[in-house]
Homo-oligomer: A and B are copies of this chain.
């Protein structure tokens, strides 16, 4: 939180006091925040519509990509954990008495699996694209996904993909864990959570993670997910 101090003349101050007394605002700070929200919503890049398609706002951001990141935080959470002999992906399974679900985690090869977050259809197609390209190395797998995401972030006739993908790969040796986000950025992790509530989960992971055996990794992952009744767990051995 940033604190900003503003000096006000007595006249202005008295007018603000009267607005607070009228009951429209609980206190002066709330009033000032409301004024700022009102001002920026009229003058900022969002009000000017820079966030309506794949284009650049004056502050150098592509807002559609931020909204896509918001989308990738929707849906059931998932966790990835690197252990000594590979990587584990784990997710809570969807609920509903008659729902059998469709795997949130998909194994594409002996040494390659992905876990999706966000809009199901977008994630599905990224997985299809990856499967069809039959990558032989981890770098290739990541490049295929980045290209697919990127094409949807730069072309004004498309929209960004509203899903993130957690990639567990041991295609060329040691197990590695990547997260490809909707802006086509890639980050490598030792352990990470994605989807709804992932920010809190990642904080816990940072405190609890220690590289070890597969069994411990799986136990940690399920604990992070809140020990759901039904869960999917996939191991990618190095």
A residues neighboring B (CB under 8 Å): 7-13, 21-24, 26, 41, 43, 46, 49-62, 64-65, 67-74, 94, 96-102, 118-122, 124-125, 128, 143, 146-147, 149-150, 152-162, 178, 183-192, 202, 205-206, 209
Contacts and interface: CB of A to CB of B under 8 A. Distances in A.
A60 B55 contact: no
Given A12-B22, A98-B192, 14 more contacts: A12-B24, A46-B58, A50-B52, A51-B58, A60-B69, A60-B73, A99-B188, A100-B188, A101-B188, A121-B150, A124-B185, A125-B147, A128-B146, A157-B157
A146 B121 contact: yes
Nearest to A142: B102
Contacts of A125: 146-147, 150, 154, 184
A26 B41 contact: no
Each complex incorporates copies of this chain amounting to 7
Contacts of A61: 71, 74
A88 B67 CA distance: 37
Contact of A209 (B74, B98, B101): B98
A40 to B, nearest CB: 13
A148 to B, nearest CB: 11
Contacts of A156: 53, 156-159
